[in-house]
Amino acid sequence: MTVTPERVTSIYQRVSREQSVNSAEAEEFLDRMFAEGAADAGERFETRLSQVRAEIAETGTYRHTAAELAYGARVAWRNSARCIGRLYWRSLRIRDRRRVTDAAGIAGECVAHLRQATRGGRIRPTITVFAPDTPAAPGPRIHNEQLIRYAGYRLDDGSVLGDPRYTEFTEQVRRHGWRSPERRGSFDVLPLLIEADPGEPRLFTLPADAVLEVPLTHPDHRWFAGLGLRWHAVPAISDMPLEIGGVTYPAAPFNGWYLGTEIGARNLADERRYDLLPVVAELMGLDTTSERTLWRDRALVELTLAVQHSFDAAGVTMADHHTESRRFLSHLAREEQSGRRCRADWSWIVPPLSGGQTAVFHRYYDPPDAAQRPAFLPPR
């Protein structure tokens, strides 16, 4: 078949139409925003909707105003069924960087995001939004799951030095030219892998001053410091697209602050992560020959206590699972008073340590709705 210029144009127009924003989704978003009183003062719903429809008809998409972007990002956090910290959704700081489109510029803004969100340990919930997908071209992507994560090196004996969760990503960035430190360790910060131009991902090293890390010690066990453990202060998720009113932003890194159990009872404790419970139990002198001694449980408490103690001593914001559970129920009550359903994934809301002792354990929740928008979507 001969491919003529007319046929290429026809194919492009068809693909563009298929990728166009659904005006019904835009209308639903605007309707909710105006109903909640989040629109700019003096702006009329009918006028804004007419503008959006016209823009979609002409270009296949539309550009959110600053107010729409801020409202959409905050509601996406409010809708995050797996997040226990949603009480603070209104406090999310918005960094509108939609005009930054080159890989180096995006990397620079990610570094700025970390510095501004860290604030010397007084962590501030922050999101940086880069260019959206359009019918003409995809938006940029950040391939890292989080802006800060630690490398995992496969060793000859089959073991892993560092974080086993990131062995494949570590190998991926090494194929792209990343050189690990000459003396590899368990907490080597991975570079950013950013794809601004399709098929051309580029590497960028995070400067040390953008990565606040907390050395881990224990309030009672002096030997704990000898393990040489540490963890980064800011959990900035970077591979979840943000969808607002039918428009998708594939690169929109966002952060809150850590819950102590995320690090102590998962990242450092899981068998497929750092798997430190046997090490801690041995140093505590626990009997690990039988599960009936509950050595895992005892080690888990002390490991999480060390994390919480260390962050507190360093002046770095961190929530504890008991307090945050009560605050989540306060958020749920506020949402119900506002006439909104607060959906939650029970398996994520209930903490992995002492779940039955927390307020969130003793009830069920409206199940997650995959169609709910605005939302942070699963990684592509």
The residues assigned a catalytic role are 83, 86, 257, 262
Residues 170, 171, 174, 176: is their CA dihedral positive or negative?
A: negative
- The tokens for 35 are 């109903």
Distance CA 296, CA 284 (A): 11
DSSP, collapsed to helix, strand or coil, labels residue 321 as helix
> Alpha-carbon distance 34 to 214, whole Å?
43
Separation of alpha carbons 241 and 249, rounded Å: 5
3 state DSSP class of 214: strand
The dihedral sign for the CA sequence 25, 136, 129, 146 = positive
Q: How many helices (H) and strands (E) does the chain have?
A: 11, 16
Pairing of strands 160-162, 152-154: antiparallel
- Beta carbons within 8 Å of 131's beta carbon, 6+ residues apart: 98, 99, 100, 101, 139, 140, 249, 251
